[in-house]
């Protein structure tokens, strides 16, 4: 695993060294540079040595030195690809470097090489023969790649903070990205939070022509449900077991020891069981518990899995104050605003003490029903069909809406009246749109109407496309039969890459640890997409197919344990230790000066919460995490991790 950076333009050799140094946490084992003065191209990389420790130095050239590559990731079918290329008379000079495999494959197939790759990757190569840069990101978006174009340069990097060291790049906020962040707590799509800086989308490649400056991107893979197959449930269960076992084996390819994050849930426990069953002796496992949260504690279940397979098991108990202590470090390493879960920081920090590679269960939820989030939409669609058959029900709703609306408008703050009022205010527009109603219900943070009416200043809200509409467009591109197909594709294109994999990459790399996600093995994902929606998941038990496939590997009590997750005590933090920070960063005077948010937000939302008159902690936490990011990246224009704590911001 590595951090990569590069630039085309005047002074690229010196600037790339600064950009690369900003990524040292991603690869502290080695550093390398490539400069081509004739084309003003510079490439740099920080290496975390996992495969071919001796011969994997980058940037790496092909044999005639006409193509140079910088590459972040692992290609898990590299051994198979090398054998195939050797049969075509390609000669390798390294023992097992997957970087050289990429170079040889590019020599053989150019852009068409991407269809052969199974792994996690972001790479860019300088093709001197074709006078261009060519880069790509893996299908699922496991590894990141940012890029920016200015009048005089083109630059790319693994992380936003690296690109922001380029002097010609302005740190201007992208208002549309902020608009979406307030609803989702993460930034979706190809636009980053900084205007002019883009993210290469998962499953896409780019090509930049050095002579003309022409830039283009193209999609080389999309999730598709078009080739679903008819098999019995038993046959699919057996195939899930076979393909997941093969995926775990592929993703355990390493020349250094590996460990497993073991939460006590079904996904991570399945990976541990399959690894141990395949012969990985003395496997190291790591579990996180939370002080004072026994009802959420999965340590006993994780311990049973560890005992079942005789792993070298380690446990860490986390206190809420630990999260506050490292809050600014997390905000810095995340690169972009993020208001979601933070405890994974400590899992990766804990694992880094012993290993360089850590397996996680990320992706299992999205492939197997995503907590059944499709259920409400499918029921509403069914209800819509019934309404068509019974139009009097629709007329009854029209007559009742003004009365219900007036009653909802009288709800006190403490009953969650703010969100309820917003939902009912827009009932005439959304009541008959199952997709929009489903997502308004899911807007736990801010709906589109809330953002425009209550939160953002005019410029910030009026020029942005509704987040609902942004999601709907992606949803409607799915080629599946049922809404659960559409929502699965939506999750694979938004929440999975730009929230969960985004957080996993940044937090693991902050501790120089390579996180691997075998559920997102390409062969396994393609197999999952072939399973008919009604078989792949069931409303009463979204993961029944996975549960059946691995039940002999896991303790009986784990198979039936409910899904748990650690909920940050943000409501208490905001009224307690974070109260001074909240009052400062969300104060009306500061909001007025900043010009992004309406100063009335403080009196309408923050003040009632601080007084204990309402519980608006999701909305306040979402804004507070953005304000912390804004303070570090925009106001202070930091170029390295802050050495001060959040208390000093007060």
Q: What is the pLDDT of residues 100-159, one digit of tens each?
A: 999 999 999 999 999 999 999 999 999 999 999 999 999 999 999 999 998 889 999 999
Percent pLDDT > 90 in the chain is 64
Q: Are strands 197-199 and 153-157 parallel, antiparallel or unpaired?
A: unpaired
- What's the pLDDT band for 493 if we cut at 50, 70, 90? very high
Helix axes 467-476, 483-493, angle to 10 degrees: 120
| CATH architecture of structural domain 2-219 | 4-Layer Sandwich (3.60)
More confident residue, 172 or 294: 172
Lowest mean pLDDT among 100-109, 179-188, 257-266, 566-575: 566-575
pLDDT at 1: 63
Q: Is 313 helix (H, G, I), strand (E, B) or coil?
A: strand
- Distance between CA atoms of 96 and 90, rounded to whole angstroms? 14
Which of these is catalytic: 2, 400, 641, 650? 2
- Distance between CA atoms of 553 and 329, rounded to whole angstroms? 38
- Distance between CA atoms of 455 and 453, rounded to whole angstroms? 6
DSSP-derived letter for residue 221 is -
Q: Which contiguous run of DSSP H or E holds residue 303?
A: helix 299-309
* Domain residue limits, the chain: 2-219, 233-370+494-559, 372-444+457-488, 570-649
- Distance between CA atoms of 253 and 260, rounded to whole angstroms? 14
Residues in Cβ contact with 142 at an 8 Å cutoff, skipping those fewer than 6 apart? 73, 120, 121, 497, 501, 505, 517, 520
Helix axes 98-109, 78-87, angle to 10 degrees: 50
List the structure tokens of 458.
């005019």
Cis peptide before 59 (omega within 30 of 0): yes
- 36-to-4, 9, 147, 170, 439 alpha-carbon distances in Å: 17, 11, 20, 26, 50
Answer whether 370's CB lies under 8 Å from 487's CB: yes
* CA within 13 Å, CB half, 196: 16
- Distance between CA atoms of 375 and 108, rounded to whole angstroms? 46
pLDDT at 435: 59
pLDDT at 447: 85
Percent pLDDT > 70 in the chain is 86
pLDDT in tens, 273-300: 999 998 887 799 999 888 766 555 678 8
Q: Is 94 helix (H, G, I), strand (E, B) or coil?
A: coil
Q: Is 142 helix (H, G, I), strand (E, B) or coil?
A: coil
9 sits in the region (left: phi over 0; alpha: psi -120 to 50; else beta) called left
539 has pLDDT over 50: yes
Q: Looking at the DSSP assignment, which residues form a beta bridge with residue 36?
A: 41
DSSP-derived letter for residue 459 is H
CATH of 233-370+494-559, one of 1.10.600.10, 3.40.50.620, 1.20.200.10, 3.40.50.11900: 3.40.50.620
Q: Which residue blocks in 310-390 are alpha helix, DSSP H? A: 320-325, 327-334, 344-352, 364-367, 374-389
Instruction: Look up 650 and say whether it is catalytic.
Output: no
pLDDT at 297: 67
List the structure tokens of 515.
């996180």
pLDDT at 158: 98
pLDDT in tens, 597-625: 999 999 999 999 999 998 999 999 999 99
- Distance between CA atoms of 515 and 271, rounded to whole angstroms? 13
- What's the pLDDT band for 428 if we cut at 50, 70, 90? very low
- Distance between CA atoms of 495 and 365, rounded to whole angstroms? 11
More confident residue, 531 or 375: 531
Answer whether 152's CB lies under 8 Å from 168's CB: yes
pLDDT at 376: 73
């Amino acid at each position: 695993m590595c951090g990569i950076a590069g630039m085309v333009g005047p002074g690229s050799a010196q600037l790339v060294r600064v950009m690369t140094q900003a990524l040292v946490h991603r690869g502290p084992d080695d550093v390398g540079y490539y400069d081509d003065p004739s084309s003003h191209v510079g490439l740099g990389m920080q290496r975390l040595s996992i495969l071919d420790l001796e011969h994997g130095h980058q940037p790496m050239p092909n044999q005639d030195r006409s193509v140079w590559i910088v590459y972040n990731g692992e290609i898990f079918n590299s051994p198979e690809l090398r054998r195939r290329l050797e049969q075509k008379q390609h000669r390798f000079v390294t023992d097992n470097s997957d970087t050289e495999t990429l170079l040889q494959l590019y020599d053989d197939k150019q852009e068409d090489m991407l269809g052969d790759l199974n792994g996690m990757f972001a790479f860019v190569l300088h093709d001197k023969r074709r006078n261009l840069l060519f880069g790509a990101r893996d299908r699922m978006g496991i590894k990141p790649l940012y890029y920016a174009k200015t009048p005089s340069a083109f630059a790319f990097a693994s992380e936003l903070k690296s690109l922001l060291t380029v002097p010609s790049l302005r740190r201007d906020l992208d208002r549309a990205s902020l608009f979406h962040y307030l609803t989702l707590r993460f930034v979706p799509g190809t636009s980053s939070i900084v205007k002019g800086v883009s993210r290469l989308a998962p499953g896409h490649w780019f090509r930049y022509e050095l002579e003309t400056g022409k830039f283009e991107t193209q999609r080389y893979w999309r999730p598709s449900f078009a080739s679903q197959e008819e098999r019995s449930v038993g046959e699919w269960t057996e195939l899930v077991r076979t393909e997941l076992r093969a995926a775990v084996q592929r993703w355990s390819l390493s020349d250094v020891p590996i460990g497993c994050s073991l939460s006590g849930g079904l996904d991570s426990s399945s990976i541990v069981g399959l690894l141990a069953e395949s012969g990985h002796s003395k496997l190291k496992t790591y579990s996180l518990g939370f002080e004072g949260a026994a009802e959420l504690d999965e340590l006993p279940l994780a311990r049973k899995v560890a005992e079942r397979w005789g792993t070298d098991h380690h446990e860490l108990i986390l206190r809420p104050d630990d999260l506050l202590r490292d809050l600014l470090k997390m905000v810095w390493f995340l690169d972009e605003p993020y208001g979601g879960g933070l405890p994974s920081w400590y899992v990766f920090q804990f694992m880094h003490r012993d290993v360089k590679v850590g397996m996680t269960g990320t992706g299992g939820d999205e492939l197997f029903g995503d907590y059944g989030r499709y259920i409400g939409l499918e029921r509403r669609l069914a209800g819509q069909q019934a309404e068509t058959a019974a139009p009097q029900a629709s007329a009854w709703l029209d007559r009742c809406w003004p009365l219900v609306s007036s009653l909802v408008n009288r709800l006190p703050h403490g009953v969650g009246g703010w969100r309820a009022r917003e939902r009912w205010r827009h009932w005439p527009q959304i009541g008959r749109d199952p997709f929009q109603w489903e997502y308004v219900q899911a807007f736990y943070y801010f709906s589109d109407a809330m953002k425009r009416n209550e939160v953002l200043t005019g410029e910030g809200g009026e020029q942005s496309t509704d987040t609902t509409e942004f999601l709907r467009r992606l949803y409607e591109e799915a080629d599946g039969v049922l809404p659960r197909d559409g929502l699965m594709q939506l999750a694979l294109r938004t929440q999975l890459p730009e929230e969960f994999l985004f957080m996993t990459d940044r937090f693991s790399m902050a501790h120089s640890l390579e996180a691997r996600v075998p559920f997102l093995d390409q062969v396994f994902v393609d197999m999952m997409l072939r399973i008919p929606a009604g078989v792949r998941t069931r409303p009463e038990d979204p993961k029944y197919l996975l549960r059946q496939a691995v039940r002999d590997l896991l303790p009986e009590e784990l198979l039936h344990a409910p899904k748990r997750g650690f909920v940050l005590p943000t409501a208490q933090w905001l009224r307690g230790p974070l109260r001074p920070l909240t009052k400062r960063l969300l104060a009306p005077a500061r909001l007025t000066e900043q010009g992004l948010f309406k100063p009335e937000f403080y009196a309408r939302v923050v003040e009632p919460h601080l007084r204990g008159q309402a519980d608006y902690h999701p909305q306040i936490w979402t804004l507070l995490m953005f304000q912390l990011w804004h303070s570090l990246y925009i106001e202070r224009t930091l170029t390295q991790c802050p050495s001060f704590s959040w208390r000093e911001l007060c």
